Structure 1
Amino acid sequence: MTSAPLIHHVALLVADLDKAVARWSAATGYTFSEVARYRTDRYCDRRNPAPHHHDARISFSKEGPPYIELMEFHGSGTHGPDQGEGFHHLGFMDCPSPEDKMIELASLGIFDDGMALDDDDRILLWFTSKQDLNGMRLEFVSSDPQPIIRDDGSEPYRDVRGCPVLWPPEEQ
């Protein structure tokens, strides 16, 4: 019997990421990463199903799991201000086959609403529709490198596998 994956992070949408990092740090005593960006030109969601630009500013707590991910409003779809501040999703990392997981959940009546694709149209990450799980989304992230850059647009830190990460090597 295989065990269920553990929740890697709890993500919250915020209007102002810099203020949210300061407030959450003060309230929890947690340390948050430098601000980074999940930037891709291959994001799709129900509001805009054609691959389009997505540039979400993010920061993760060092404490966890589960970690806290703070994400600033972006665009008009799954990360837009009309979603409101607060809970956005529970994140599961290193999903071996996001495509298979999507098919599995669709058979249960849980559908997708948002995904990032690589250049070969493979899913890098995807979100379930919040309407299908009591107003909450799940996020499934593949083990493939994600399109993360530093907030100023420069190259990200990298882990031993060469994948982009939010923490400098000495803090990983």
Structure 2
Amino acid sequence: MSPRKAVPLALITTSVFSTPVPDASAKDIDADRIMQSVERVLEENRIYATCLSMDKNSLDFVRSNWRRMVGETRDLLRKANFDTSFLTLFELKVRAANLLDQNLSLHQAMAICHANEAMISRFYEFGFSNLRQEVEKAMTGDNVPIPSTYNEARAPAAAYP
């Protein structure tokens, strides 16, 4: 691709992912609401990691996308001057190791994937939630819950017939 054609893509990417930091200071922001948003986006990405883990390239993409979103969100929270204990809690919650449950049975994984087919389709269309954007919404009180059935599908499965 020539550099001339790459410029518009770079501008589009910059404009989409460069949103201003909300004006509220950290002390005015509901930390619980932020962590609820983090939980919801983590849960969504756990579904992606679980359902795409059979293909190494897809799992690598989910993980690299997660690391990118975490980095952007970390920067946002630091700029908003959250205290060290909150940032530590955030870091523990968003560790890449939390994306994939190594103890999940294949049957449980399949149940999760089948229960979330529409969500997986949105992933392939880049329609997944963006961690930074969801945290920004939580910081301004403008977030809406992300529907998911990960935990319901993860419940102990009945034995195969």
TM-score by length of 2: 0.23
Q: Which has the larger radius of gyration?
A: 2
Ranked by relative contact order (alpha carbons within 8 Å, sequence separation 6 or more), the top structure is 2
From the two aligned structures, give the one with the greater strand fraction.
Answer: 1
- Structure with the higher helix share, 1 or 2: 2
TM-score by length of 1: 0.22
